[in-house]
Amino acid sequence: MKKIGLLFGIDTNFPLDVQHYINSKQSSEFICEEIKIGILRNNDFYDYDVIFDRISEFVPFYRSFLKTLKLHGKKVISNCLTTCYDDYFFQSQVANNLGLKTPKTCLIPTKWLPKNTTPEAMRNLEYPLDWDKMFDYVGFPAILKSNAYDEKRYDFKVYNKTEFFSAYELTGSNLMILQESIEYDEYVRCFAVGKKYMKIVKYNPTNPLHLRYSRSAPRIDENIEQKIKDACQKLLGNLENHFNAVEFAIKDGEIFCMDFNRPISKLERFILGDELYDWLVEKIGDYLIELATGN
């Protein structure tokens, strides 16, 4: 019998609903269960065929466990070896290399010295920095934000140099980027499960969490919809990431890749709405079964 393992923390509702969906099929071919891990020896072997991970990004112990399983050919959803993609500046380079449009983006040295360093560590940093060159490239208004995803991240919209430097003073040792502000016509998220299941939803990242997902369908034509799905296919193929949500800004018929390799940390019914939540439970469940059984 094939085994599907679930690894999760405080967000119990979604993974348990996926578990219930899979086991409700009452198949003799597969079973879904929570993983229990003790002290790991380097010759330990776990007989899970597929692991659905919802927590390892926060727990290094779990992350090492999953990397070991993947080394031995196990399937991990999502790919635990692509943590380097949690870097917005690097993401923009990946997207550009795939022929996708992104906002103009600049990586900025930290305002304070990085932790556990001295001024001598920064000897290769150009001084003074050419701020005007950056402003001319990105333009105003612009978004000053943390370079890596963090629920406590810094995020400022600045309209001129004075506002930029005022905001930059507050960022401390956090690595920041300055990014072109796209005054979009529509903003969407495309949920992708494998390369098989995709769903585009209207999304507003500036709203409170429970108001970000619109219950109405986004107003985009078929050509734009296909461009979004094609872009997601490219990104998932490059990342080997089986479960993702990619954000796109749409302006004048063009799509801009804004954010991807998102762990999608909040999968709650009250946030997503019934239709999207149930769709994700079903598609994730079906995809895990397909991976486990090879069908």
Q: What is the pLDDT of residue 238?
A: 74
Nearest to 88 by CA among 164, 150, 170, 160: 150
Q: Which fold has domain 2-80?
A: Rossmann fold (3.40.50)
Q: What is the pLDDT of residue 43?
A: 74
Q: What is the pLDDT of residue 1?
A: 92
Place of tokens 């954000």: 247
Rg (CA), the chain: 21
Q: What is the pLDDT of residue 263?
A: 60
- Work out whether the CA dihedral 225, 146, 94, 283 comes out positive or negative: negative
The C-alpha angle 233, 234, 235, rounded to 5 degrees, equals 95
Model pLDDT for residues 85-140, shown as the tens digit of each residue: 678 898 899 899 999 999 999 999 999 998 889 999 999 999 899 999 999 999 99
Q: What is the pLDDT of residue 143?
A: 96
Q: Please state, in angstroms and rounded to a whole number, the distance separating the CA atoms of residues 285 and 23.
A: 9
What are the residue ranges in the chain where pLDDT is below 50?
none
pTM of this structure: 0.89
Helices 88-97, 222-239: axis angle to 10 degrees equals 110
Pinpoint the residues of the chain covered by CATH 3.30.1490. Answer: 104-180
Q: Which fold has domain 183-274?
A: D-amino Acid Aminotransferase; Chain A, domain 1 (3.30.470)
What is the CATH code for 104-180?
3.30.1490
Nearest to 179 by CA among 150, 154, 157: 157
Model pLDDT for residues 211-230, shown as the tens digit of each residue: 999 988 888 899 999 999 99
Q: What is the pLDDT of residue 150?
A: 64
Nearest to 45 by CA among 67, 28, 16, 68: 68
